Structure 1
């Protein structure tokens, strides 16, 4: 298998899927403006995308631990795009929630299988997983720009145009699956011994990811509206703030993988969460143009640990890599969407800045949990591409 080519294709496909996670938050200001939704009602759309996704992603992870499901990559990409494409066509709030939920299921189905394929293709490299995560971050970052271009000069009835990245992402999956199939002939069939599962550490890691999810999802839901109130530029300023929140993740993911190869994943994650405490405080409370700098720092600080947490979860649960990926990329990440309606209710009764203030504590809680985590030994080169897993992926 040509590792660099495969990782590049996976990263590009990841971007085409995660653009739909970013699109949900990017569509919120347009739903508020066009349909006169309150903060609480608008945040319910984020909840719809997160609720089913949070439950479905670990389920898909467990399924991919047992059976080969490579078809999930193109199928889930298309499902994620179709849901968002249909979300703006009906004025019915119920149908909007349903279509966004369908998109969330598509995103949920994609991540466990793609994360395991990326782990195989990257042969356990932290940097390779960082590049794979970079693709998703770029998709997040492009989402507000894409939505602004498509919807900004028209109406929500233009959302069908947003299906185009899904069509491109599904096409990118085809050569990846072919490369995996060609690698089958050169894969050893000898069993590879695995380390024992460290369930206690995995639970602590999952809680840390939950707190990270709460702050990131809360900011991604409301940062555009918050920037319109606190920074210059009006609607444009809101789009810029959301773009920076997503774009900083591109830097953070690659930087995190490179730093982890030198200093270790746990230590690097601790540093980044401490930085995030200050950055989130600035993003919420500093007015004017300086707010944009703190938003970018927040993004980088929250995304440095992102891909590292995925591989940490896989190393803490080496016998259930798909389940670990589903939880670290799914349940714990999507759970942040469950908190967004509470933030919306608080914002409606007080102010948006007051509602966002509790988010400052979230990265501090993640830092405290990481202080109790050990640095697991990375997989041996041979174990990074276990024969039984590689064969199941190729069938």
Structure 2
């Protein structure tokens, strides 16, 4: 088949090339000559026509294959500037969705509501203890039931949804939370309280892996920004949960827990809207889930790196628990502050935690996750070591610095782990959120025992050495 280049315009070129194509179809003696046309607009068309004609010459009569080659040749040369739907293809080039801040913001808001509801549960323990004459052992069983469903289920939920993604997992989990909240407002026995706590935990265990996955999918490659924005929503909810409980539940009794159901109902609608966006981008997620690791690390090195990250999470959340659970008691005992004043210092610390969480992700996108992990844990050590010996002013200053520096680590740890094990975004998020809850719960119990037996000042002196475990970050390989 001959391609003519010397015509005066595109119409003349088209006419001559159609004539040459017709002769080539019926006359096999015509040889294919590959010349480059002068009209750029016609290059893709001619290339496709040449391939189709050549195939028909060699395999006459195969209409099915002819049509297939024609479709593929045309689609391969589609202009890059044309509008394309956001669907995944079997291309060997990795596809990334654009940054969708409205989805990331919506997921962060849902995280705020989820963790706000979680934080309300321990806030009403004194009320439940007085109403049902519960022992501390029974209070511990409520926490254990919640932690088992909220923490231990998360990796399994993430593992399953990595392989069988379902956009309805999020709204279904929110329904479990809503049922648990309503039950908690009306139940009259200890076993039903346990069931309500378990349902709230199930809602949390389904939320974190899936919501973290969606935040990553909407990140446009800015994984640290997406993860930190998502995480700061949860920190904000955890901070406001006790305040909300003190305002609308504690003064009025157990029945007012039902008002928290309005937050769960709003979250249900929000998560359903998010799930619709997720469904529209599900093919893109499936393509990404099938991508192989590009870091070139052996399986043994990956497992060792995940173990190091687990130790870093341990050091971070054991120390964070000492502040979130017992900082007010420390201030009251050492500086003779009132409860209200100690709560103000705790609020400043939690505000610094939220700020550190937000800024840690984007910084990791710029300078690398390993650098952020190294600085945020080991870098906090000088301040934690100084805290037990500081006066009230410097205690407040140091707590803000410690909160900001330590909190910047978590989003970097999660994203770093997801880069180590690509295609298992949900499982990795579930593991590390589960570790966060698990280490926090174990740490609170253990540090409470140490405070009873050795005093609260001993607890802060002992915990001040935990950030030194950040030296283990030197064992992490560089992935970015």
TM-score by length of 1: 0.81
TM-fit CA distance, 1:120: 0.9
Q: Distance in 1 between matches of 2:438 and 2:241?
A: 18
Which residue of the other structure, out of 435, 442, 458, is the alignment partner of 1:331? 435
TM-fit CA distance, 1:289: 5.3
Name which structure has the greater RCO, CA cutoff 8 Å, separation 6+: 1
Q: Quickly say closer, same or farther: Cα 1:237–1:158, change in 2 above 3 A.
A: farther
Say whether residues 1:119 and 2:216 are aligned partners: yes
Which residue of the other structure, out of 128, 131, 155, is the alignment partner of 2:229? 131
Which residue of the other structure, out of 117, 133, 146, is the alignment partner of 1:20? 117
Q: Is the 8 A contact 1:38 1:348 kept in 2?
A: no
Say whether residues 1:375 and 2:454 are aligned partners: no
In the TM superposition, 1:136-285 aligns within 5 A as 136-151=234-249, 153-155=251-253, 158-183=256-281, 192-195=291-294, 198-230=302-334, 234-281=338-385
In the TM superposition, 1:380-391 aligns within 5 A as none
TM-fit CA distance, 1:136: 1.5
Q: Which whole-Å deviations, capped at 9, do the CAs of 1:267-312 have from their partners, x for residues lacking one? A: 1121111343344456666454554433333321221011111111
Q: Which whole-Å deviations, capped at 9, do the CAs of 1:327-353 have from their partners, x for residues lacking one? A: 112135423312322222222233233
Q: Distance in 2 between matches of 1:301 and 1:38?
A: 38
Q: Distance in 2 between matches of 1:187 and 1:99?
A: 33
TM-fit CA distance, 1:129: 2.0
TM-fit CA distance, 1:236: 2.3
Q: Distance in 2 between matches of 1:224 and 1:27?
A: 18
Q: Is the 8 A contact 1:245 1:299 kept in 2?
A: yes
Q: Distance in 2 between matches of 1:221 and 1:131?
A: 24
The RMSD of aligned alpha carbons is 3.4
TM-fit CA distance, 1:46: 4.6
TM-score by length of 2: 0.68
Equivalent residue number for residue 463 of structure 2: 359
Which residue of the other structure, out of 186, 193, 205, is the alignment partner of 1:108? 205
Q: Distance in 2 between matches of 1:84 and 1:309?
A: 32
Q: Is the 8 A contact 1:276 1:301 kept in 2?
A: yes
TM-fit CA distance, 1:370: 1.3
TM-fit CA distance, 1:26: 4.3
Q: Is the 8 A contact 2:313 2:435 kept in 1?
A: no
TM-fit CA distance, 1:228: 4.1
TM-fit CA distance, 1:21: 3.6
Q: Distance in 2 between matches of 1:292 and 1:96?
A: 38
Q: Distance in 2 between matches of 1:32 and 1:354?
A: 29
Q: Quickly say closer, same or farther: Cα 1:336–1:15, change in 2 above 3 A.
A: same
Q: Distance in 2 between matches of 1:283 and 1:32?
A: 34
TM-fit CA distance, 1:66: 1.5
Q: Distance in 2 between matches of 1:24 and 1:360?
A: 29
Say whether residues 1:321 and 2:425 are aligned partners: yes
SS at match of 1:70: coil
Unpaired segments ≥5 residues, structure 1: 378-395
Aligned length: 376
Q: Distance in 2 between matches of 1:281 and 1:26?
A: 30
Q: Which whole-Å deviations, capped at 9, do the CAs of 1:125-184 have from their partners, x for residues lacking one? A: 121222122211221222232222224544455333333322222221122122223345
SS at match of 1:335: helix
Equivalent residue number for residue 56 of structure 1: 153
Q: Is the 8 A contact 2:312 2:377 kept in 1?
A: no
